[in-house]
Structure formats: structure tokens, C-alpha cells
Amino acid sequence: MADLVNADTYVNRELSWLEFNKRVFSLTGREDFPLLEKAKFLAIWSSNLDEFFQVRVAGLKEQLAYGLKSSTPDGLSPGQQLAAIRADVDAQYSEVSKRFLAEIAPALAREGIVFSDYSTLDDDDREFLDEQFRELVFPVVTPLAVDPSHPFPYISNLSLNLAIFVRNPETGLTRFARVKIPPILPRFVVLPDGERFVPLEEVIASHLGSLFPGMEVLGHHVFRVTRNADFEVEEDEGGDLLMTIESELTQRRFGRVVRLEVHPDMPDDVLDLLMREMGANEDDVYRVEGPLDLSGLWNVFDLDRPELKFDPFTGITPPRLASSSTEQVDFFEVIRQGDLMAHHPYDTFSSTVEAFVRRASRDPDVLAIKITLYRTNRDSQIMQSLIDAARGGKQVVALVELKARFDEARNIEWAQRLEDVGVHVTYGVVGLKTHTKLALVMRREGDRVVRYAHIGTGNYNENTARIYEDVGVFTSDQALGSDLSDLFNYLTGYSRQTQYRSVAVSPQGIRRRIVELIEDEASRDDGHITMKMNSLVDAGIIEALYRASQEGTRIDLCVRGICGLVPGIPGISENISVRSIVGRYLEHSRIYRFGARGRERTYLYGSADMMPRNLDRRVEVLAPISDPDLQFRIDEMLDVVFADDNLSWELGSDREWTRVPVEHGIDAHVALQELAQTRASGTL
């Protein structure tokens, strides 16, 4: 391991991630956040934790099961990490339950949004729920008994369930049964006034007599199961990746139990039965005071109560794409005049990325479209444009990453639909995920073919583009276009391309390029490095930053999530500052700037974080920004990010995250909204 990266200078990845989720949770206590937004962030906290257990905790438990004892750079073994995670998660559960039960639920009730108990409802409400149960719930609920002829049922991943005990009044025999709360139905049943909610499990529990007629229901208890969903796909040159992924999706349903959530009042004998039958142990059990699965609060957030949410913001159409006449703007002409940046969600996805692909699909001079697809949405307009282009006779190549975790099924569906209309679908390079976000258009112009490209930091997904902060650049730079042509040949064929004209490509090139730029800045008297990313955990990159700090280089980092680097260590990192912005939008762009004001600077952007997986096990691209106008936009964005004192947290040398003191009240998300609106008005 690198000399400067050790237990004293490195923060454990898993514990750093839990600190990030604490920052997400902290938004639920902000006085300046509307009430339903607080409920939404509780749902996000819950969903985040689900994925953490399915992947990160599951991976550590696998290491433990196989007797692997190797430690991470911070010196913690898998067992020690699991123990630390357990303590942290227990504390978070306690805080979250208090926040929901003592603050958010009562505040919602004061606004008429009430979580009701079936036993306290009046006759009219009960009659309504009885009808809802008969018409909507009963047809899709399947009670499963356990007896000598019926083995203990399989409990699927992330399922919410009722453990039920019933007795035969004639024989006196007591049996166990399980009812799965149907995930296809909303988590809460809405009463006729539209603002009172009853948990679905409570509705089902109040009608157990209908599910077990003739039996005495002795009791019921709610539990929720999380399983290992971290399966590595074994690829080989001759295998069928599509079939392999479909098999892995089936296997995921049967992964080992890594978490069992129950209420504190569950009797020991019931808990022992569940643990025994599902192969769980006491370390997997989490006793939760409040409702299980708070991700269901998304249903509450969907209420039409705009006064309890942030004021809606509609992104702008970049002025160069806006038309004051009835004639459609020529997207390709705009790009020929100079590179164009889209900063989402402040610039709309529909008028930029979607419009680019749509125009390419309809333009008679466009010969081919090539695109990488990592995560997209079910009703994707980009996918429809690709289908239209293929039907129109254009050559369309789509690299669909089937190994995009938790989006595999959707990507398989899209891959098959694209293939059905003649799109050339490929799944990338054996052994590597293709994570980069690229679109390349070849257009005939006179006697030559001109390449137009889009390179982004975010997915081609119009839904996430409304809430994820991302940057994308449209360019007709032919050197960069030639690089991307070479890259697509590498991705779809048998090319062994490793050298490119302007872009840096992992797994070979990005680590080398970033380290070279860090070392170059460290050699300068006025060295200054600014990095904005989601995660910083790679030991080699952290060591390079430490060495630059030792040379006196100023280093400003904005790391939204996981950060393994420790700033402020005397003699090692006293010239490094680390902050994190957590707020209305999810900070997702990756921007790397090298150089001080007053001299030439290097700007790189793309979808690569500073993590071993991005640098060594994925196909990623970092592209340069050379256009002065775009450099100004990047500087403007970074100035706002590092001036924020409303949403920002700062990491100290003690490894603790603390809120940045409010001095000027700058909210980066509000400030960037205002800048976008000012650009649209033509006053900037």
C-alpha cells in the first residue's frame, strides 16, 4: 500500500458512506425545507440503506464466510467493519424513528396528512377499507401455510411480510403462516379524503379472518427481509451475456439474508423461527421502532400539496438553442458555431440531450448514431428516437450495459426491443462495465462526414435528469470525434486501442492522466487543484494528492458521498479542504480542474469517480474542455459550489463531518437556478 495511505490517513469506505447517508437524513431536520420534502428524504435515506445492505454489507459477509481477513487501507478487517457498521446503523435507525414518530408524522398530521390506525377509524372509513381489501388486495394476496406438507416459504428480497399464527379450533393445532405484502400495490392505502393513510400491512392484518376462514388468528408480526444482491457476472469470450445476466437476476432473489427488520415487540420464539428458517443470525436482526420500509413515503410525497414542497423549477433551454421564431433551431449548426454545455437540471434535458438525439434520428443527412446506455427509464424518448432512426434506415449502434446493477432487467428489455427494429446492440468489453455516457452522430455534409458528439457525466435518463446535477457537452471537434470513433470500435469490435488524441480512457488512461496532472500542479509554485466528484477512495489518487499537498499545492475537493482522504493532517494534508453538498438536487457531475487563476488551466469532465472500479475495471472517458466560454461556465459553477454555506458540510482532520457555518446564506442549488434564469433572460 502507498506510503502515505494507512490507518491514520484513510477513512473506511463503508463508514464514510454511512456518514453520507447521515447527511441525507439531516435534511429531514432542516427548518427551511418544506414538510413533504423532509418525508421524501426519509424515503431516500431508506432506499439508500437498502442498497448498502444488498451490496456492501453482503460483500463483507461473504468475505467473512469465506474466511478472508485482509484489511482495507484503514486497517479494518471484514469482521471489524461489520461490527462498526452495526453500531452506526443501529444509531441511525434510532434517530430516524424518533424523527419520523416525534416530528414528521405529527407535523404532517397538523397539515391534515395523517397516518391512521385501523382500530381508530370510524365505520365509514372501515367500510371503505373493507371494500378496498375485497376489490384490490384480496385477489393478489397469497397466504402460505407451514406444515408437514408445506415447507417454509421462500421470502423474497426487500419484501415486507406478516408472520401469522393460526389455530384450528377443532384439533387445537397451531400453525405458522406467512403473507407477503404485495409490492405491486401502494405502500399506504389512501382514505377517501385523499390525505389520510393506512399502511397496507395493517389493512391486510385487519382482514386475516378472510384469508384464514374457519381458523383462529392468534397473532401477527411484521418483518422485512434484505438479501445479498451483489453477484459478480463471470464472462468469457464464448458465453451468452444476456442469458448469464437473466440467470443472475434469478439468483439474486435467492441470495443470503443479510438483514432482518422487525419491530421490538416481536416475541423471541417468532424471531427464532424466522432466523432459523431463513438462515439468519442475531447480527442480521435490526429492531426498528417506527414503520418498516420508509421508502413508502414516496407515496405521501406524491400528494398534490405544492405548498408543502419546494417551488417547482423548470429548467431553461440554453439561449443558443432557443428560437424566437416558429422555425426549428438547427442543432448541428449551433454546435458547429462552438461547443455547447448543458448543466442539468438547470438546463432542460428535453431541449438539449433529447433534442440532439431526436434531431439526429430525423435528419436525412445523418448516416449513423452510436450511443452507450447505462441506465435509462421505461418511457425513454431517447430510446424511441433510436428506434425511429433504425426504422428510417440509419445505422444505429447501442452499447447497452447489462451489468448496471438493479437496472439489468430494464436494460435487457430495451436491448431486445432495439434489436427487434434492427439496431446493432452490443454489450461491451468482456470483464469491464461500460459506464461512460457518449453519443456520436455521423452526418454527411457536402463531400465529407462530420462527427457530432455528446459526452456527459449523467445517464441518458430524463427522469433522473430532473433531480441529478450533471454536465454534458456537445461538440463537433473532429479530434475528439475521431477519438470516440476509435473508442466505439474498441467497444464493439476487436480493437486494442489504448492511445487517444484528446480524451483519457480507463482502464488504461484515466489514472495515468490524473496522476500526471496532479504531479504537474505539485511542481508549480502556484499549484491549485479543484475536484468535484461523487466518491474519492482510490489509494493511489489519494497518495498523489497528499504528496501534492506536501509540496504546498492548494487542493479543494467537493466529494458528495464517500471520501477516504483525511484533510488537515499536519505535514501531509494541511493544504487540502473537503466539502460535501447535500440538498434538493443530487450532486452528480465529475469535474477536474488543474491550474490557478491567471494562467492556463486544464479542465476534464466525465462519469469517472476516483475509485478503483472506475479507474481499473470500467470503460470511462474524461474529456477536455477547451472552449473559453465553457471554461467560464465551469469556473462559475465551481465558484458557486465552494461559496455555498447553506447546503455544505466540511470534513475535518478528526474525520468528522460538520455543517459549514452560515455567513452569506448561499444555497448552491438556488444560486445555479437563478444563474440559469438570468442566462435565459439574456442579461448575463
Task: List the catalytic residues.
Answer: 435
Residue 69, C-alpha cell as written in the block: 481477513
Residues 6+ apart with CB under 8 A from 113: 195, 196, 197, 300, 303, 305
How many CA atoms lie less than 13 Å away from 436 in the CB half-sphere?
A: 31
d(CA 308, CA 304): 9
Residues 6+ apart with CB under 8 A from 590: 457, 532, 533, 534, 605, 606, 607, 608, 609, 622
Distance from the Cα of residue 139 to its chain's centroid: 34
d(CA 52, CA 55): 5
d(CA 256, CA 58): 8
- CB burial of 81-96 (b: ≥16 within 10 Å; e: otherwise) equals bbeebeebbeebbeeb
d(CA 633, CA 627): 10
- Write the burial class of residue 493 (CB in 10 Å: 0-12 exposed, 13-18 middle, 19+ buried): exposed
d(CA 525, CA 599): 12
Q: β-strands 528-533, 554-559: how paired? A: parallel
**352 and 345 in contact (C-beta within 8 Å)?**
no
CA distances 651 to 392, 560, 659, 660, Å, are 53, 11, 9, 10
**624 and 552 in contact (C-beta within 8 Å)?**
no
d(CA 261, CA 482): 53
Residue 527, C-alpha cell as written in the block: 499549484
Q: Cis omega before residue 345 (within 30°)?
A: yes
